Chain A
Amino acid sequence: MAAVSTNLGRVVIGDRFIAAASLFLRLFQNDFTPDVDTVWADLTEADFDGYTEWVVEWSPTILDGDVAKTTAGLHTFLATGGTTPNDIYGWALVTGVGGGGDVEIILAERFAGAPITIDAAGEHINVTVQIQWTNAP
């Protein structure tokens, strides 16, 4: 039989993961669909007025049935003007600066219906990140 990853063990894993280091949430503005080989150099970070990466604030991992869930609170990327408009295609969860001066991508997602145009104060994009730790099928 396959090894079983236990529910409480996955909660431990989730909490270890978020305790290890700060992670950052970024938006990207190039027309790109991430895949397993994607690296940060493939993406162009957003730079619309008011944009800044977010240092992710995690809640402790919880167990929902047999799924351990590690969730960051909803974050709003809010534009403060329209001087530098962007078409935003997705988000990425990244590490801090790595040994090569680059960052590593933990997760990335292209928005359904991308792009989302941000070209005026008050326009915004909300992102919630949730990592689910489960047994492999």
Chain B
Amino acid sequence: MPSDLIHPTQGRIYTLDRIVTDHAPWVILFTDPAVIDATTELADLTEATFSGYAREHPAWPAATDSGTGDAQSTSAFVTFSHNGGGVGNSIRGLALVEDDGGFGTHLLLAYLFPSPIGMNVLGDSISRQIRYLQGQYPLI
């Protein structure tokens, strides 16, 4: 039978604050692999190296009700720009890495872009906000 266990909205907000707001994750770009799944680890990723690339550490605001009962926290915009130097990359995706007082060792989330994005010349850039949701999903 379905569980009657409830994760109220205020509990979702509390939980998301402990996860994201208290420990703002880092944002990185990666060039490989082309496939990611739940077993993917940080060591499996090849981080971008294009000229001008640097890891980003955006601020994450306190979680709020998304309007549908889920908790949400949306990062500040992160923008990665090529500076015109000689190194280019084809970027496959973006990932969140734990903050453990510095750049951590655990991969939290990974996202593959619909198709690779070239970061090869001055003017190439990738700008994203990351929206983190904490919801209640069906229990079995």
A residues whose Cβ falls under 8 Å from a Cβ of B? 1-9, 11-13, 16-17, 20-21, 33-39, 66, 90, 93, 95, 104-110, 112, 134-137
Contact = CB atoms under 8 A, between A and B. Distances in A.
A8 B8 contact: no
Given A134-B137, A137-B138, A38 B8 contact: yes
Contacts of B10: 39, 104-105
A108 B19 contact: no
Interface in B59-98: 69, 96, 98
B15 A17 contact: yes
Interface of B: 1, 3-11, 13-15, 18-19, 22-23, 36-41, 69, 96, 98, 104, 106-112, 114, 133, 135-138
Contacts, number: 112
Contacts of A21: 18
A37 B4 contact: no
A3 B7 contact: no
A112 B11 contact: no
29 contacts: A4-B40, A4-B109, A4-B110, A5-B108, A6-B107, A7-B39, A17-B15, A17-B18, A20-B18, A35-B6, A35-B8, A36-B6, A36-B7, A36-B9, A36-B136, A37-B8, A38-B8, A39-B10, A66-B39, A95-B14, A106-B8, A106-B15, A107-B11, A108-B6, A109-B6, A110-B4, A135-B38, A136-B137, A137-B138
A5 B8 contact: no
B133 to A, nearest CB: 8
Contact of B4 (A3, A11, A13, A112): A112
Given A5-B38, A9-B109, A105-B11, 20 more contacts: A1-B112, A3-B111, A4-B40, A6-B38, A6-B107, A8-B106, A12-B98, A12-B104, A20-B22, A35-B6, A37-B9, A39-B10, A95-B14, A106-B7, A107-B6, A107-B11, A108-B6, A110-B4, A112-B1, A136-B135
Nearest to A18: B18
Given A6-B108, A9-B98, A16 B18 contact: yes
Contacts of A13: 19, 108
